Structure 1
């Protein structure tokens, strides 16, 4: 499965930035060893249901350490038996774009 998630702490630093809290969450993903991608809006992570959801929970927990309230937006592509789709899905679309 692939999960795209975004964690939003309700408080930031003195400038209003939430980058430090988001970096702590992404560190959890990185240390999980699961394939992931980071973009400006979401973190995408691929793996089995239990391992992906455990990573999302740990990421929320680290943000909750610095924020009294945390928002979580999550979208999942659940396709049992498929691996490597984090990049393969994009490659299929790029091949079709190149053919035209």
Structure 2
């Protein structure tokens, strides 16, 4: 199974710039060992089980909680597909096979 998790998570109660907090969230994602892709608006992570994706979300929230964030915004989207793997790269490759290299 492939679970694609697209998420962004940051506090809304700590000023205008969020990079300091987003960096801490990305450290958690990086340390999870699962493949991920950081984009300007969200991060996409691929796990094999939904429970792993949910665990990453919890750890990210716990990190912000330890940083005294009282209000956290987190849009979260899942794409869960049985019988598939490596969709983080495979979905992009499928489009490139049709139209050529896409900007990255």
Q: Matched residues in 2 for 1:81 and 1:36: separation?
A: 20
Match of 2:62 in 1: 61
Structure 1: 4+ residue segments shifted above 4 A: none
Q: Matched residues in 2 for 1:57 and 1:64: separation?
A: 10
Q: Matched residues in 2 for 1:36 and 1:29: separation?
A: 8
Match of 2:50 in 1: 49
Q: Secondary structure at the match of 1:62?
A: helix
Gaps of 5+ in 1: none
Give the alignment's Cα RMSD to 1 decimal.
Answer: 1.1
Scaled by the length of structure 1, the TM-score of the pair is 0.89
User: Which string of whole-angstrom CA distances, capped at 9 and with x for unpartnered residues, describes residues 1-48 of structure 1?
Assistant: 1000011211335xx211111100010000000010001000100011
Q: Matched residues in 1 for 2:99 and 2:71: separation?
A: 42
Q: Secondary structure at the match of 1:53?
A: helix
Gaps of 5+ in 2: none
* Alignment map for 1:20-59 (pairs within 5 Å): 20-47=20-47, 48-59=49-60
